[in-house]
Amino acid sequence: MKKLLTPLLIMVFLLTGILIFMIRFHNQDYQNSKPDVEFLTDKAQLFTADQVAELTNKLHALSDKSKIQIVLYTTTGSNMDLDDDASTYLETHGFAQNCVVIAINMDPDNREVLISGYGKAKFLIGNKQAQSITDAMVPDLKNADYVNAVNFALSRIDHYIEHPVNALLPTLGIGLLASSVLSAIIIFVMVYNSGGVNTTNSHTYLDKKNSKLLAKQDIYTHTTRTKTKISKDSDSGGGSGSHGSHSTGRSTF
């Protein structure tokens, strides 16, 4: 019975870790953000002054409510991919680690919309959620109804942040599955090993009193040679910006 306590304790430990992660996840707040950041940058000039004011107020309100900065960025194109362009924009303008960016590229040769989640937002607005939003924005964007497209995106982002269970359920499920499988393996090993102790050894069939070594001989058979490849330093390298990895959904229109 005592042996069964080990896997049970392991399962409790893993579940406690998941619970601590969830508590810390929901207690995260704005971090490392400048107080004067602009939540809307309209380089493509898609909105009137009144629309800019209205959308800016909505971005501020949703950001204050969710404790995740929601950013809208439009561009007419650059020499970078839209995903890289949006990440660079966030870093150079001092946005928080926890943020969601809605980026619209109006380059005639590559018109697309992108939504990315950073920090804890990448768990709430995952790839699947972000992709569903950008896909649904396409009809309004094609009709040049940019305000309605952005309003729809904000409503869906608000929904996913307010209902995190659907987005976080896969993560929790993997944790529970891992703890259950690990505990099952430990129990199986314990039960298998408790079936009996092997008492057979090298002395079981050897009469040491009436046995002795008569002769010994060394026989050369072969030589083994191994080679180790020495890796050379490479000049190429990679990295990520201060916002790190993120979720992404993107659609062309």
The average confidence (pLDDT) of the chain is: 78
Written as one string, the DSSP assignment of 89-132 is HHHHTT--SSEEEEEEE--TTS-EEEEEEETTHHHHS-HHHHHH
Give residue-wise pLDDT tens across range 56-114: 999 999 999 999 999 999 999 888 999 999 999 999 998 988 999 999 999 999 999 99
Supply the CATH classification number for the domain 34-164: 3.10.310.50
Res 48 pLDDT > 70: yes
Q: Which two tokens stand for residue 99?
A: 């943020």
Angle between helical axes of 165-193 and 2-27 (0-180°, round to 10): 160
- Rounded CA gap, 93 and 186, in Å? 51
**What does the angle CA 169 – CA 174 – CA 176 come to, to the nearest 5 degrees?**
95
Closest CA to 249 of 156, 140, 143, 173: 156
Task: Give residue 62's pLDDT.
Answer: 96
Reported as a single tens digit per residue, the pLDDT across 220-245 is: 676 666 666 554 443 333 334 445 68
